[in-house]
Amino acid sequence: MAKPLDRNSSIPLYVQIEQVIRQKIGDGEWRPGDRIPSETALNEMFGVSRMTVRGVLNSLVDDGVLYRVPGKGTFVTEEKIATRSPAYQGIREQLEEQGFATVTELVGLRTMIPTESVRRRLGVDRSVPVYEILRRRLVNGVPVSLHRSFVPVRLAPGLDRDDVVGEQLCVILDKQYGLRAARTSEQLEAVAATSEEAELLEVAERDPILMLEDIITDQKGTVFEYSKICFRGDRMKLHFEYQS
């Protein structure tokens, strides 16, 4: 049962209802992924008009606290994991520092002749082979990101024999091959998940995901890595902070 509303209070009823719903979520009574009572049930629970309840739910949906699934109802939103750009600190390291149980899976590692798009970002020509490394990261058993990296073979010969799952790629490139980031150019955009990305991230094809592109340059001005990291937008959010 919901806490009775104080109809003599100066606090509007819709604000009191929102406070009750937030408290139920905060106390764990309604957990992430749970379907909350229908508008009709909430109307009876609080003894207010359906329009009042609908306004409260709309506000909570806009705030990202709840989400609607057409034909199924309104659900409590999964709490998003906040991380900074990997240019500051590796994603896995950040997740582990926050106490999350992480697993990294190697989806594929191959030597290839890069596409025109990859060549342009790495600044190489068609004759330069590159490693393509695709890894999937899971948090508490749920896929949250895909990491696709391209590294010219001549800059890191033997990278295909290194442990790119047990160790962070940036650490391997630094320690094993002397490739340390001096400059990172980043671009973040929302894109539609391809069929491959959808399968690996366990979302629907063409669902919106976040894609962060990094072009990483060493102190000599040589681009040694181009990466594309795809994040599930319903599970992850990126935090950027600037100081002037």
CATH architecture of 13-76: Orthogonal Bundle (1.10)
Both structure tokens of 185: 């150019």
Does the pLDDT of residue 2 top 60, yes or no? no
Please tell me which residue, 202 or 90, carries the higher pLDDT value: 202
- H-type helices in the chain, by residue range? 13-26, 39-46, 50-62, 91-97, 116-122, 169-177, 195-201
Does the pLDDT of residue 100 top 80, yes or no? no
- In this predicted structure, what is the pLDDT of residue 215? 96
| Three-class SS state of 9 | coil
Q: Which residues contact 220 (CB under 8 A, 6 or more apart)?
A: none
Q: What residue ranges do the domains of the chain occupy?
A: 13-76, 81-239
- In this predicted structure, what is the pLDDT of residue 84? 62
**What does the pLDDT look like over 181-199, one tens digit per residue?**
999 999 989 999 999 999 9
- In this predicted structure, what is the pLDDT of residue 240? 64
pLDDT band at 233 (very low <50, low <70, confident <90, very high): confident
Q: Which residue, 239, 215, 106, 206, is CA-closest to 164? A: 106
Please state the rounded mean pLDDT for residues 107-133.
Answer: 95
Q: Would you tell me the crossing angle of helices 39-46 and 50-62 to the nearest 10 degrees?
A: 120
**What does the pLDDT look like over 28-62, one tens digit per residue?**
899 888 899 999 999 988 989 889 999 999 999 88
Please state the rounded mean pLDDT for residues 136-154.
Answer: 92
- In this predicted structure, what is the pLDDT of residue 97? 72
Please state the rounded mean pLDDT for residues 107-118.
Answer: 96
Please state the rounded mean pLDDT for residues 157-180.
Answer: 94
Pick the CATH number of 81-239 from 3.40.50.2020, 3.20.20.150, 3.40.1410.10, 1.10.8.590: 3.40.1410.10
How far, in Å, CA of 129 to CA of 152, rounded?
6
The edge-to-edge listing of strands for the beta sheet with 183-192 is 102-112, 130-139, 142-152, 223-232, 208-217, 183-192
